[in-house]
Structures are given as C-alpha cells and as structure tokens.
Amino acid sequence: MKYTYLPKQDPEVFAMVGGEARREMEGLELIPSENYVSKAVLEALGTLFTNKYAEGTPGRRYYGGQTFTDQVESLAIERAKALFGADHANVQPLSGAAANLIAFSSWMDVGDTVLAMDLSHGGHLTHGAPVTFAAKAFRFIRYGMKDISTGVIDYGQLEAMAMEHRPKIILAGFSAYPRELDYDRFLLIAQKVGAMAMADMAHVAGLIAAGSLANPLKHGFHVMTTTTHKTLRGPRGAMILSRGKVGNPLKAPERTLENLPTLIDRAVFPGLQGGPHMHQIAAIAVALKEAGTPEFKAYGQQVVKNAKAMAARLKHHGCQLVTGGTDNHLILLNAVASFNKNGAELQDLLESAGITTNKNAIPDDTLPPFRPSGLRLGTPAATSRGMKEPQMEQIADWIAALGRGEAGPEKIRDDVRTLCLKFPSPSGLAEPV
Ligand SMILES: *Cc1c(COP(=O)(O)O)cnc(C)c1O
C-alpha cells in the first residue's frame, strides 16, 4: 500500500504501520486464526464509509443519507447468503464475540442453558468460559471428546446431557479442535430436545465456503455465526447466518425458529449494538466476492492439504499431536510430550526464530492456561502466501529442530526470512509515495 498523507501528518503512527508490515512480510504466521487480506479488501476498509451512521437494516434506517450504505450492505448480505446457502445474513456484528452474544440473546432469556464444547477440548472462550459476561447471564454445560486419540466427540454423552438439562441452544464450534463434526448427529439431538442448533464456524468459514469442510446450514442447522477475518480472509468482523423467514425488524416477533432472521436483526440493533461499521461491511462484501471464486476454492483445499502435510512431517519427527492429526487447518501439538517444553516455552522459542504460534491448552490439561501443555499451529496465512506441501515440511523440520535443541533460533530466523520473502504477503508493505 502507498500512503500519501499519513507519513507527513503522523509519522509516529506511520512508523508503527511500517513496522507491522515488515513483521508480517518477513515472519512466518502460523496462528490458525490469522490471515492476510487482499489489497482490494484493505482499500475497501480504508474508505469513507467509516464516516456514516447506518443504524437499522438496508431500507429501514434511523438516519437519512443511506443510498450507498444500503447498496453496499445489501450486496454483502446477498453474497453471504449465496456463499453459505443461508436464508438470511446479518453482517453487522463487530466481532465474533459480539456475534455469539447476539445469537445467544436472540433466542434465550437470562438464566437459560447452552450445551457447548468443553474449552480444553477445543471450545472457544465465548462459549461460556467462567470469566465471560455470557457465563454470568446464561448457564453453560459441556460436552467433549469421547476418545482424545481420535478426536471423536462423545455424542452419547451429548445426547444424555441434552435430555437431562433441556438446553435452549446446542452449540457446535471450536477454536482448537482439528477434526470435522457430525452435524447430522448434533441436529438430531437438538430436534429431540427442542433446542436451537447453532454452529460457531469462526475458524473454518473459509474452508466451508471453499467446500473443503461440511456446511452446518446445509445439514439443517438453524444459526451459524462466523468471524470474517480468519480462514474467510476478510477484514476483522463477523456475520450471523440463519434459516427462516425475514420479517419486519421494527416489530418484535414470537420466538420461533421461523422468525430467527428477525429475532437476530433485532438482537443486533437495538439489542446489543449501535451503528454498524460500514467501511468494515464494504470490505466484507469484497472478501465475500473473493471467497466465491475458483481461486478461493483452490486456496481452501490447499489450506487443508498443507495442514495434513505439516502434521505428517511433525509425526515423522516423533511429535505428539492431539487426536493424532488434522482434518482442517489446525494442528494441536502436545509440546510437553513432544519436546519436554510447555506451550509458552515453545511459543517463545519459535518466536525468536521468526515463527509466530500460540500456546494452547490440550484436553483436560493439568498445566495452567498461561503455560499450558500445547501449542496451536495453522496453515491459513502461509497458504495465502502461496506456500505448499514442500514448504510445510520444511517448516515442520524447523519446528522439530528448534524443539529438540538441534538448531539455534538465529540461524533458523534467517532461513525463515528468506522463505517468507520468496512468498510475499498478499497484503503488501506500507510505503510512502
Ligand atoms: C475467534 C473466535 C471467536 C471470537 O472472534 P473475535 O472476532 O475475536 O471476537 C468466537 N468463536 C470462535 C470459535 C472463534 O474461533
């Protein structure tokens, strides 16, 4: 990106933008929730749509002057619906955490119950971690894996808990689970107890759009939340997709599955948010167009191939992977069992070699969250740079060599930088004109 005004007007901030651009260009990003937006997405994000208030939905706004905000939001909505086969899309949630709280509040009263994945088995913080406000407002009960060596969910336990506790929502979704879910089983159990089936696909929406993973909505799920900035490769933001009939958001509807689209629109505004971020929505529209192309389909497939290649190579080096491997974009490495280092130590070691990862709990971890036993690795960002299986194997070799203390971080840091410069980040650098 070329910048004309920022370098002159605020050289301090410009220097920081430049520092981050160089960090992204020269370093290897293996955090599975991160990615690089295209330059077109970046340009849309920097537009003057940021100036406009647009509370309400297209055609039903509280302020005037909405000709172009209506157009751009309608375009984003239509693209989201087409991409995921949804009856309705709300593209206004400011982030994934907001989207989940909005979805909960659209369907539940304070004190109601959610059945969600155990956090150490891969569930996300927003699925009711005790430190969240959601955990104070709602009651969370948990299912997990039946067999950690294969990653299969304990659907028998899930059903028994659903029968006993009668949750209002059964939530499928994760941020540290490397396997595919059986959405038909989830839906059957939800139907049996009259719960809403909700999927939080924040991590894997791009892989679903590309057709590399199953789409919960196509399996009959009622609601799907997702971020837009992870595998979907858009700007930071989120969406709530649903089935049902779109009604007038100005009238409070009955709480039925059919009315979910209206319940969700009202839970976004005025329920939990004020004005939507229209520049973010414009950039989401651009990202959704990109996600509908054959190139993106190939990208989604390569992300999974790359993760499998990296996992296989790590195992070849004797590393212990939770569930034994991966079906998606992420790998959960048991750092203690692999290298006799905790996740925080391994994260720091890799960072000193220019490889960014994040420490993560493993199922039923006995170590505390700040120095857990695991390390999470992912391929979405590296794949966006055009890296393929040979590079993934090279990266796995570096991780193993560092973990075992066979190579120093300084030497590997140079190799990492050389590799990264051969595969430039699609977001580009920040340079003055
Ligand atoms: C990342 C993530 C979120 C939260 O998204 P933010 O944009 O960080 O608020 C929610 N759910 C899951 C499963 C996630 O992976």
SS in 3 state form for 390-408? HHHHHHHHHHHHHHCCCCC
Confidence of residue 249 (pLDDT cuts 50, 70, 90): confident
202 lines ligand 1 (CB under 6 A): yes
E strand or H helix that includes residue 118 = none
> Residue 129 has what pLDDT?
94
> Residue 2 has what pLDDT?
85
Cα torsion 198, 200, 205, 209 to 10°: value is 0
Give the residue-averaged pLDDT of 179-198: 98
Active-site annotation holds for 112: no
Give the residue-averaged pLDDT of 212-232: 98
Q: What separation in Å is there between the alpha carbon of 198 and the centre of ligand 1?
A: 14
Looking at the chain, the whole-number percentage of residues with pLDDT higher than 70 is 100
> Residue 433 has what pLDDT?
66
Q: Convert the pLDDT of each residue in 382-424 to its tens digit.
A: 999 999 999 999 999 999 999 999 999 999 999 999 999 999 9
Q: Convert the pLDDT of each residue in 67-125 to its tens digit.
A: 999 999 999 999 999 999 999 999 999 999 999 999 999 999 999 999 999 998 999 99
> Residue 238 has what pLDDT?
98
Looking at the chain, the whole-number percentage of residues with pLDDT higher than 90 is 96
Residue 250 reports pLDDT greater than 90: no
Q: Which atom number of ligand 1 is nearest to the Cα of residue 96?
A: 5
Active-site annotation holds for 150: no
Q: Which atom number of ligand 1 is nearest to the Cα of residue 100?
A: 10
Confidence of residue 251 (pLDDT cuts 50, 70, 90): confident
> Residue 431 has what pLDDT?
83
Among residues 79, 308, 134, 115, which one has the least CA distance to residue 198? Answer: 115
> Residue 432 has what pLDDT?
80
- Give the residue, by CA position, lying nearest to ligand 1 atom 3: 96
> What span, in angstroms and rounded, lies between the C-alpha atoms of 334 and 331?
10
Q: Convert the pLDDT of each residue in 255-270 to its tens digit.
A: 999 999 999 999 999 9
> Residue 80 has what pLDDT?
98
Give the residue-averaged pLDDT of 302-306: 98
CA 366 vs. chain centroid, Å, equals: 26
Q: Which atom number of ligand 1 is nearest to the Cα of residue 175?
A: 15
3-state secondary structure of 212: coil
Give the residue-averaged pLDDT of 197-218: 98
Backbone angles phi, psi at 85, to 5 degrees: 65, 40
Whether the Cβ atoms of residue 430 and residue 3 lie closer than 8 Å to each other: yes
Among residues 183, 269, 237, which one has the least CA distance to residue 45? Answer: 237
Confidence of residue 335 (pLDDT cuts 50, 70, 90): very high
Residue with tokens 């689970």: 177
Confidence of residue 195 (pLDDT cuts 50, 70, 90): very high
Active-site annotation holds for 50: no
Residue 334: beta bridge partners?
Answer: 374
Active-site annotation holds for 192: no
Domains and CATH numbers, the chain: 13-32+294-422 (3.90.1150.10), 43-291 (3.40.640.10)
3-state secondary structure of 56: strand
Query: Residue 235 has which token pair?
Result: 């700007």
Backbone angles phi, psi at 123, to 5 degrees: -60, 165
Backbone angles phi, psi at 114, to 5 degrees: -120, 135
Give the residue-averaged pLDDT of 296-325: 98
Burial of 406 (0-12, 13-18, 19+ CB in 10 A): exposed
Give the residue-averaged pLDDT of 182-208: 98
Ligand 1 pocket test, pick from 227, 330, 332 with the greatest ligand atom count within 8 Å of Cβ, gives: 227
Q: What separation in Å is there between the alpha carbon of 203 and the centre of ligand 1?
A: 7
Higher pLDDT pick, 429 / 85: 85
Residue from 55, 87, 351, 389 carrying the catalytic annotation: 55
Q: Which atom number of ligand 1 is nearest to the Cα of residue 230?
A: 1
Q: What separation in Å is there between the alpha carbon of 212 and the centre of ligand 1?
A: 20
Residue 1 reports pLDDT greater than 80: no
Burial of 175 (0-12, 13-18, 19+ CB in 10 A): buried
203 lines ligand 1 (CB under 6 A): yes
Average pLDDT, the chain: 96
Active-site annotation holds for 251: no
